Amino acid sequence: MKMDKLNHNIENETLDIEKSDSPSEVFRSRAVAGVLAFWVAALLMMALSRELVFFQKNTCKFIAIPVDPRDLFRGDYVILSTNLRNVNTQHLANGRYFYVRLINDRNGHATPLDNDAVLSKPKQGQFIRGQMGKTGPIYGIEKYFVPEGKGRIIERKLINGEISIEVALDRNTGEATIKNLLLHDSPIDFNQI
């Protein structure tokens, strides 16, 4: 008798669970799953977008110009500047995106084609996208993290003019990412310096 009563209670609970899955609850759980999937996909796209630039064959080199680079709180890195600092961006508002058309000099280093930044994306040729920051233009190639203890060595080589920057450029957007630091036009092997 007790066993029959137990089986009857289990069957009733099963029926109650099945009845509680109303269409609105199913829709709500699918909607939540859809929203979560969207946010996961969006986060992955943001994380991977900079990495995808590396797989494009569109690269250029800039001569690296030394800047006072120490910040004890952020780790071992070097602050870099290029000839892009000479482009006129004074007419641009803070936060505004802009473009600089590039051409290679006789040594194969990228140099600005024009003296002024432009607001519209160039239709052809190589270009880099920048954004006006509070203290000036930002291209995304101003800092490069190096292995611990190597920052001072790189700084000395920057001062001596031995370092250039290999930059990967997105062909469609002009977004830039540092691909390598180059010592005499070869990628730096931080284990060898």
pLDDT of 96-154, one tens digit each? 999 999 999 998 999 999 999 999 999 999 999 999 999 899 999 998 888 888 888 88
d(CA 70, CA 58): 31
pTM of the model: 0.66
For residue 40, give its domain range: 2-53
Q: Which residues, 6+ apart, have CB-to-CB distance to 107 below 8 Å?
A: none
Least confident of 32-36, 51-55, 176-180: 51-55
Domain count, the chain: 2
User: Are both 14 and 85 inside the same structural domain?
Assistant: no
User: Are both 87 and 166 inside the same structural domain?
Assistant: yes
- 164 in Cβ contact with 182 (< 8 Å): yes
Last residue of a domain, one of 53, 78, 93: 53
User: Are both 118 and 28 inside the same structural domain?
Assistant: no
Res. 170 pLDDT band, cuts 50 70 90: very high
Q: Which residue shows structure tokens 């004074």?
A: 90
d(CA 106, CA 50): 29
Q: Is residue 73 part of a domain?
A: yes
User: Are both 19 and 77 inside the same structural domain?
Assistant: no
